[in-house]
Chains A and B, each alone.
Chain A
């Protein structure tokens, strides 16, 4: 990957960055009296184009998904190496693969569940899969599909569809990151895997499942070794904090688990995870030659959309501004 290929793309991204929602604007939305006012404030931003076709506020999800789609399309256009955006779009592919498989097993039309963002032509994968032709698609998709189909015929356990797909996703993601040889991408994926593994560990503990199940759901390629996670199954929450205290993600893990101890929920853990992953992306603001700013911009946009979703859902359900603030994520700018 030649960093000089990104001069133009980074310049364009810099302009786009200035249009991200500012802290002040988010605060105004949090304090807005209802969702109509939130949408009015959004009308002053780069969302104004996608708001146009809205007939009622409960369809806010449409604004958010068309904005996300717009961002991905634009970023695919300006990046030289598709893989930079693929790293983030891949999760939608695997989501769609899950829907596809479930659609086939259930014999039901789940059209509205598909996300129209993809690293490739998903319609083609869908048609090929339904026609039983797996040879034209990416071998990693093929392998995942074959594995899931075989497993479902054997076990008839729909949870296994998600487990196998998630495992394939993270392996595929790690391969992509390695391929780029960009340190930020590799550490992003590794940290993401670690957070996900610790989250799985807590959930497995809470559900009193056994070690065998835990070993199935732990993902490889993280900084924390698989064996270390497996032995932590019998630790107390306190013990888990201590066991993983020497990793870069430890402060967040500790705080997240403390909140889990107190409230019995992992939402704070997830919020801290998002903030950490945003944190490692912030230095991209000072990189002028290279793919990092593109990647970080897409993450910034995804986070922004997540924040908007939190605000709008909270407004619809009449949560207080303090409750909303507790759930918000850090912004990129």
Chain B
């Protein structure tokens, strides 16, 4: 069974703990990169990461786009959304069906 992880600033992600998701609070981009790379190797199937954190480490996120597992999914943080997550879904849909149906 694959596990689910969530990465981001502590106040945004702590609530996920109640759902049984593994929570990894990070403070800056170096730490975020290190954590994502570490847990990607550790049997995590889905890694949720806050858009704020993801925007700091675009290269790392890009790298996992090309791999099947883990799926790195962007979520808004408690500061609101930057729309990167939704844009990515739109572009993936476009890639899959040829047109933006959303």
Which residues of A line the B interface, CB within 8 A?
A: 56, 58, 313, 316-318
In the complex, which residue of chain A has the Cβ closest to the Cβ of B10? Answer: A58
A317-B78, A317-B79 known, 8 other contacts, Cβ within 8 Å:
A56-B27, A58-B10, A58-B27, A313-B11, A316-B9, A316-B11, A317-B11, A318-B79
Complex CA gap A58/B32 in Å reads 15
- The dominant DSSP class at the B interface is loop
Q: How far is the CB of B69 from chain A (nearest CB, A)?
A: 26
Q: How far is the CB of B51 from chain A (nearest CB, A)?
A: 15
- Sampled A-B contacts (10; CB under 8 Å): A56-B27, A58-B10, A58-B27, A313-B11, A316-B9, A316-B11, A317-B11, A317-B78, A317-B79, A318-B79
In the complex, which residue of chain B has the Cβ closest to the Cβ of A59? Answer: B27
Q: How far is the CB of B29 from chain A (nearest CB, A)?
A: 13
Inter-chain contacts of B78 with A (CB < 8 A): 317
Complex CA gap A316/B79 in Å reads 10
Q: How far is the CB of B22 from chain A (nearest CB, A)?
A: 12
Complex CA gap A58/B11 in Å reads 11
Complex CA gap A58/B10 in Å reads 9
B:64-102 near A, CB below 8 Å: 78-79
Inter-chain contacts of A56 with B (CB < 8 A): 27
In the complex, which residue of chain B has the Cβ closest to the Cβ of A57? Answer: B27
Q: How far is the CB of A323 from chain B (nearest CB, A)?
A: 13
Count chain B residues whose beta carbon lies closer than 8 angstroms to a beta carbon of A: 6
Q: How far is the CB of B3 from chain A (nearest CB, A)?
A: 15
In the complex, which residue of chain A has the Cβ closest to the Cβ of B78? Answer: A317
Inter-chain contacts of B27 with A (CB < 8 A): 56, 58
Complex CA gap A297/B9 in Å reads 34
Inter-chain contacts of A316 with B (CB < 8 A): 9, 11
Q: How far is the CB of B50 from chain A (nearest CB, A)?
A: 12
Inter-chain contacts of B10 with A (CB < 8 A): 58
In the complex, which residue of chain A has the Cβ closest to the Cβ of B28? Answer: A56
Q: How far is the CB of B18 from chain A (nearest CB, A)?
A: 12
Inter-chain contacts of A317 with B (CB < 8 A): 11, 78-79
- Which of A58, A313, A318 gathers the greatest number of chain B CB atoms within 10 Å? A58
In the complex, which residue of chain B has the Cβ closest to the Cβ of A316? Answer: B11
Complex CA gap A316/B78 in Å reads 11
Complex CA gap A56/B9 in Å reads 14
Complex CA gap A316/B12 in Å reads 11
Complex CA gap A56/B26 in Å reads 12
B:1-28 near A, CB below 8 Å: 9-11, 27
In the complex, which residue of chain A has the Cβ closest to the Cβ of B27? Answer: A58
Complex CA gap A58/B26 in Å reads 10
Complex CA gap A56/B10 in Å reads 14
Q: How far is the CB of A57 from chain B (nearest CB, A)?
A: 9
Complex CA gap A277/B42 in Å reads 49
In the complex, which residue of chain B has the Cβ closest to the Cβ of A61? Answer: B10
Complex CA gap A313/B27 in Å reads 14
Q: How far is the CB of A254 from chain B (nearest CB, A)?
A: 31
Q: How far is the CB of A36 from chain B (nearest CB, A)?
A: 14
Q: How far is the CB of A64 from chain B (nearest CB, A)?
A: 14
Complex CA gap A58/B28 in Å reads 10
Q: How far is the CB of A274 from chain B (nearest CB, A)?
A: 21
Inter-chain contacts of B11 with A (CB < 8 A): 313, 316-317
Inter-chain contacts of A318 with B (CB < 8 A): 79
